[in-house]
Amino acid sequence: MDFARLTAKLPYSGWNQQQQSAWRDGLKTMSRSALAIFSWGAVTGLAMGKSALTTEQALGMTLFVFAGSAQLAALPLIGAGFSVFTILITAFIVNLRFVIFSIGVQAHFSHLPAWRRAILGYFTADFGYLMYTSRFPEVQAVSERKNDSYYRTYFMYGLATGNWGIWQVGSILGILGASQIPDDWGMEFAGTLALIAVIVPMLDHRAARWAAIVAAIVAILTYSLPLKLNLTVAILAAIIVGILADRSPKAMR
């Protein structure tokens, strides 16, 4: 097999030096949270493996749907025999936070053709958007984007590659290992713990700490809402805090 000819077909080899290093930068940035993504993927995979789905169906779901919280929300509904339409509506509402993220995807990558932006959006889950915006909070002027060979775009491709890849490894191992792991080990708690290590470093300034505290309190108080709507309410509350933090720079920063 001619490896060089094979890899020449990959988009990566058609990118210039700067774009390739941007992609690797993104991949490296994402892999710093590999254990957290892996544990959440594994927990989601375990839940799918223990559900009414067959192994093939669970693998298909993880590979194509790529939305952990929506998958977890769908499982009990599938088990209870709800209609496909009802489960799809549920998935949409559980995914509402991504609609908010898509505002950012649209603005940051407006130079890309719409279909590429849509694909990039599909691969932009919680971790990808979190890491992109913590590295590049401000939208780059369109005129400046070309000057650095669209570094940020290729950085985002790297984030997406890492996020998807690590998530799928965890999730597939979880699905395949589900029959081996007893229910009462409390393994799902490991996924929650791993996220602490993602959150704490982000609380490095006052406005972020306020947003996080408000999001935590609101998400807990509204936990009884159906369809994980507490997440959307918590995000909206954090957005309001963010605006207030912006308005009173001295008091909140």
Partner 1 sequence: MRPDSLGSFEIALLIGGMALVTLLTRAFFVFLGARVQVPELVLRAIRYAPLAAIVGIVAPELILPPGAAEISQMDWKSPNLWGGLAGFLAYFWTRQMLPTLILGMTVFSLVRYWL
Nearer to partner 1, 8 or 65 (CB): 65
Least spacing, CB of residue 156 vs partner 1, in Å: 13
Distance CA 19, CA 204 (A): 29
> 3 or 85, CB closer to partner 1?
85
Minimum CB distance to partner 1 smaller for 2 or for 144: 144
Residues 6+ apart with CB under 8 A from 185: none
CA distance 104 to 152: 13
Torsion of CA 70, 72, 74, 78, to 10 degrees: 160
Q: d(Cα 75, Cα 91) in Å, to the nearest integer?
A: 11
Please, which residue, 3 or 81, has the CB nearer to partner 1? 81
| Nearer to partner 1 among residue 177 and residue 242 (C-beta) | 242
Closest approach, Cβ 244 to partner 1, in A, equals: 10
Closer Cβ to partner 1, 8 or 240, answer by number: 240
- State the minimum distance, in angstroms, from the CB of residue 14 to partner 1: 24
172: CB partners within 8 A, 6+ apart = 45, 59, 62
Q: Minimum Å distance from CB 67 to partner 1?
A: 5
What is the nearest approach in angstroms of partner 1 to the Cβ of residue 232?
Answer: 9
Cβ 19 to partner 1 shortest distance, Å: 22
